[in-house]
Structure 1
Amino acid sequence: MMASKTVRWLGAPAPGGLALPAANPTPTHLYAPRGVYLDDERLIVVDSGNHRVLIWHGFPTHDHQPADVVLGQPDFFHEGPRAAGHGPANGFHLPTGVTVAEGRIYLADAWHHRVLCWHRIPDRSGTPPDSVIGQDSLLDIEPNRGGAASPQTLYWPYGVAWINGWLYIADTGNRRVLGWHGLPERDQPPDLILGQPDPCSNAENRGGPPAANSFRWPYAVAGDGATLYVVDAGNHRVLGWTPPPTTDRPADLVLGQADLQSAFEQPHVPQGAHRLRFPYAAACAGDRLFVADTANNRVLLWQPIPRVGAGLPAQAVYGQYNFADSGENRWQAVGPDTLCWPYGLCAHRQWLAIADSGNNRVLIWEV
Structure 2
Amino acid sequence: MKPTAAPDLPPGLLWFNTDRPLSLSDLAGRVVLLSFRTFACANCMRLVPEIRRLRKEHPALVVIGVHAPGFEPATVAGNFAEAVRRSGAGYPVAIDRDHRLREAFGIRTWPTFVLIDPEGKIVGTTTGEGIAGRLGPTIGRLGGDSAGPLQAGGVSVVKGALYYPGKVAADHAGMRLFISDTGHNRIVVAGTDGRIIETIGSGEPGNADGSSGKAAFYRPEGVAFDEAAGILYVADTGNHMIRAVSWPDRAVATVAGTGLSAPGALNAPRDITLLGGFLYIAGARRIWRMNLATRETEPYAGSGREALVDGPLMEAAFAGPSGIVTDGEVLYVADREASAIRRIKRGMVETRIGHSLEDFGDLDTIAGMARIHHPAGLAYHQGLIAIADTGNHKIKEFDPETGWVLTRAGSGGQGDRDGLSGDATFNEPGGLVNLGGLWYIADTKNHVVRVYDPAGHVVSTLRLWG
- Normalising by structure 2, we get a TM-score of 0.57
State whether residues 72 and 82 of structure 1, in contact with CA within 8 Å, keep that contact through their aligned partners in structure 2. Answer: no
- Identify the match of residue 418 of structure 2 among 335, 339, 353: 335
Alpha-carbon deviations, 1:31-85, whole Å to 9, x = none?
11001112231111111111111112xx423xxx341211111xxxxx442289x
Give yes or no for the alignment of 1:347 onto 2:347. Answer: no
State the structure with bigger RCO (CA 8 A, min sep 6), 1 or 2.
1
Q: Provide the residue aligned with 1:183 in structure 2.
A: 292
- Identity in percent: 22
- How far apart are the structure 1 equivalents of 2:16 and 2:297? 38
The alignment partner of 1:154 has SS state of coil
- Identify the match of residue 205 of structure 2 among 81, 101, 120: 81
Note closer, same or farther for the CA distance 1:265–1:166 as it changes in structure 2 (3 Å cut).
Answer: same
State whether residues 240 and 269 of structure 2, in contact with CA within 8 Å, keep that contact through their aligned partners in structure 1. Answer: yes
The one-letter amino acid of 1:250's match is V
- How far apart are the structure 2 equivalents of 1:69 and 1:29? 12
The alignment partner of 2:309 has SS state of coil
Q: Provide the residue aligned with 1:254 in structure 2.
A: 352
1:156 shift after superposition: 0.7
- How far apart are the structure 2 equivalents of 1:12 and 1:271? 38
More deviation, 292-301/345-354: 345-354
Q: Provide the residue aligned with 2:220 in structure 1.
A: 95
Structure label with greater radius of gyration: 2
- Identify the match of residue 129 of structure 1 among 242, 252, 256: 252
The one-letter amino acid of 2:279's match is L
- Identify the match of residue 360 of structure 1 among 427, 430, 447: 447
1:353 shift after superposition: 1.3
The one-letter amino acid of 2:257's match is G
1:176 shift after superposition: 0.6
The one-letter amino acid of 1:132's match is V
- How far apart are the structure 1 equivalents of 2:18 and 2:164? 12
Alpha-carbon deviations, 1:211-260, whole Å to 9, x = none?
1121010111111123310110011100113xx34x4x332x411x2x5x
Alpha-carbon deviations, 1:168-197, whole Å to 9, x = none?
11112xx110124x51434x133x61112x
Q: Provide the residue aligned with 1:143 in structure 2.
A: 261
Q: Provide the residue aligned with 1:204 in structure 2.
A: 306
Q: Provide the residue aligned with 2:164 in structure 1.
A: 32
The one-letter amino acid of 1:287's match is G
Give yes or no for the alignment of 1:278 onto 2:361. Answer: no
- How far apart are the structure 2 equivalents of 1:26 and 1:365? 22
The alignment partner of 1:295 has SS state of helix
Q: Provide the residue aligned with 1:5 in structure 2.
A: none
Give yes or no for the alignment of 1:194 onto 2:277. Answer: no
Alpha-carbon deviations, 1:132-182, whole Å to 9, x = none?
3112xxxxx3213xxx31xxx31111111113443111112xx110124x5
The one-letter amino acid of 1:327's match is G
Q: Provide the residue aligned with 1:161 in structure 2.
A: 273
The alignment partner of 2:342 has SS state of strand
Q: CA RMSD, aligned part only? A: 3.2
The one-letter amino acid of 1:114's match is M
- How far apart are the structure 2 equivalents of 1:184 and 1:171? 21
Q: Provide the residue aligned with 1:76 in structure 2.
A: none
Q: Provide the residue aligned with 1:314 in structure 2.
A: 405
State whether residues 288 and 301 of structure 1, in contact with CA within 8 Å, keep that contact through their aligned partners in structure 2. Answer: yes
State whether residues 281 and 343 of structure 1, in contact with CA within 8 Å, keep that contact through their aligned partners in structure 2. Answer: yes
- How far apart are the structure 2 equivalents of 1:352 and 1:121? 27
- How far apart are the structure 1 equivalents of 2:323 and 2:17? 23
Note closer, same or farther for the CA distance 1:111–1:350 as it changes in structure 2 (3 Å cut).
Answer: same
- How far apart are the structure 1 equivalents of 2:185 and 2:214? 13
- How far apart are the structure 2 equivalents of 1:89 and 1:203? 37
- How far apart are the structure 2 equivalents of 1:214 and 1:348? 33
Note closer, same or farther for the CA distance 1:158–1:10 as it changes in structure 2 (3 Å cut).
Answer: farther
Note closer, same or farther for the CA distance 1:26–1:276 as it changes in structure 2 (3 Å cut).
Answer: same
Alpha-carbon deviations, 1:299-324, whole Å to 9, x = none?
1012xx3159xxx441333112xxxx
The alignment partner of 1:40 has SS state of coil
Alpha-carbon deviations, 1:275-330, whole Å to 9, x = none?
1111001111012210011010001012xx3159xxx441333112xxxxx2202x
Note closer, same or farther for the CA distance 1:357–1:12 as it changes in structure 2 (3 Å cut).
Answer: farther
- Normalising by structure 1, we get a TM-score of 0.71
- Identify the match of residue 177 of structure 2 among 43, 58, 83: 43
The one-letter amino acid of 1:130's match is A
- How far apart are the structure 1 equivalents of 2:451 and 2:173? 13
Q: Provide the residue aligned with 1:117 in structure 2.
A: 244
Q: Provide the residue aligned with 1:68 in structure 2.
A: 197
- How far apart are the structure 2 equivalents of 1:121 and 1:214? 40
The alignment partner of 1:93 has SS state of coil
